[in-house]
Chains A and B, each alone.
Chain A
Amino acid sequence: MTAGLAVLWMARLAAVATTVAALELVAVHRAVGDEGVFRWATLRRDYAAAPAPVRALLDALFGARGTRLVLGVQLASGLALPWLDHPAVAWLAVASTLAIAVRFRGSYNGGSDAMLLVVLIAIALARTQPGSPLELAGLAYAAVQLVLSYFISGVAKLADAQWRRGTALPLLVRLPQYAVPARLAALLSRPLVARGAGIGMLAFECVFPLALVQPTACFVLLGVGVAFHLVNALAFGLNRFLWTWLAAYPALLFWVARTHG
């Protein structure tokens, strides 16, 4: 896989991720309107101590009209990513995605916002100077963040006794905010299934760095990763994680191909 092909596939998948992110907010635009829960009149109180020019800029950017404009830029740049390889398109996607996260006090959808930015920054760097070390740096950034996202998550779970005992999943599937389908929750609450699935998940996350050093392991782990995110989307409603993590996969495939021929 060439660097150019990896960036193109990242752009195609990031287009889906960015478009989904923008459309989801467009669909709930009332929540960011003047009377919505996340109206700017409430959120701007966070910046009461900021200098006046900063507050004026934020008011223009994050009021109801400004937010619609930012969402429009995010949607348009996301849709254009596979078709227009001018770096400005990718940088606009970066800027609008970051702006949306800042408007929502740091993030709207947690880790998926972070991974979407990682992928968009990687594409923007690569397209700023194709065929240069900057392109390689962009792909390396996305590949390393992808590996870290699984590995850190796995190692952090190891510190918790419930994960080590295999009793964590039954607790997670009962959390009301995820509304895990009843049949799946019942299945994952069975001690043997919970233990097996929990330990399997820990193992997958903790051994993920092997993907960097062994091509076969890389293909197997990425295959497991696709299934993992699909199950998370179906069970926990974490649909955005599926699209954003998939968009980072070509960067890892590129580095493994480059390192191991």
Chain B
Amino acid sequence: MDKILTSKHGPWLAGGFIGLIAVALANLGNPGNMGFCVACFTRDIAGALGFHRAGVVQYIRPEIPGFILGSFLSSLIFREYSPRGGSSPAVRFGLGLFAMLGALVFLGCPWRAYLRVAGGDWNALYGVGGLIVGVFIGILFLWNGFSLGAAEKNPKGAGLIMPLIAIALLAFLFLAPTFGENGPIFFSTSGPGSQHAPALIALAAGLIVGWLAQRSRFCTVGAIRDFLMMGDGHLLKGIIAFTLVAFAGNYALGKFNPGFEGQPVAHTNELWNFLGMVLSGLAFTLAGGCPGRQLIMAGEGDSDAGIFVIGMLAGAAVAHNFAAASSGAGIGPMGIHVTVIGLIFCAFVGICFRDRG
């Protein structure tokens, strides 16, 4: 089994299986076309912790700590646990923050962009188009010598930070403590945050996906990058299988609803669906992988990926506290501003970090 997962067939096998799990989770209670969404789930966790107060998107999504712990356990079992860090951590924090802001203008990370297409939400086609353009801009920087510099080996214990945070999040979910009067942990009683698959099932799904993605290197941004840069389509097959299986599952369950209007947790603004994902795609490419991949690497002990994830958490708080997140009604009042600032930030990083190391 492990031999297949780590072969060139690994990504499409893992992708197909992850697509199936995504459909199952959406059917078991997660919001529509949101079997998995690393951005939305991280945003919900930020809300549950009280980092933002958007009452409809607050829940400790167990899929996220599941990804980290699944990858952590898998990397331990297969002797790939490798604590490392020190490659421009502050810049990676910024990239994570703006990747999240872009994703929340679009309303989904790359995983959900594909899942939205698989559910017939054609607005997401603009997002996928934006993602491809963002990755391509990142490739132009890479071709010009972009590098955030080399990470260094860290002590064994350093890689435990993110798995320990994951365990703390699970404790907050299952024990549901309240910190102070009117304090967190918050759980939405209406809106997308109140819609979720049973926690233990979602946790199991996260752990399985963490293992599958750790072994196969499934990456929704690397897929586009490697194909455009080097004609290497083995990761691309992963997202094609992911999308096709999710489509087939949706179709079989009568959940395939093609169109632009009335799609779940989506808006119809073409330009900002596109540009939000240009920003996200660019930030993910400069950081070396999609948000799911960042969680997986964080589980393997990569503290630079861990910092990127913390940046995403901060980005979710900024998005909602500063009125930049979109909703079904359209983009937020500051959505355009943060997208433009984010694109300038990424261009600055792309230009400044050349030929280093």
A and B associate: no
Could you list which residues of chain A lie within 8 angstroms of chain B, going by C-beta atoms?
none
Binding site for A on B (CB under 8 A): none
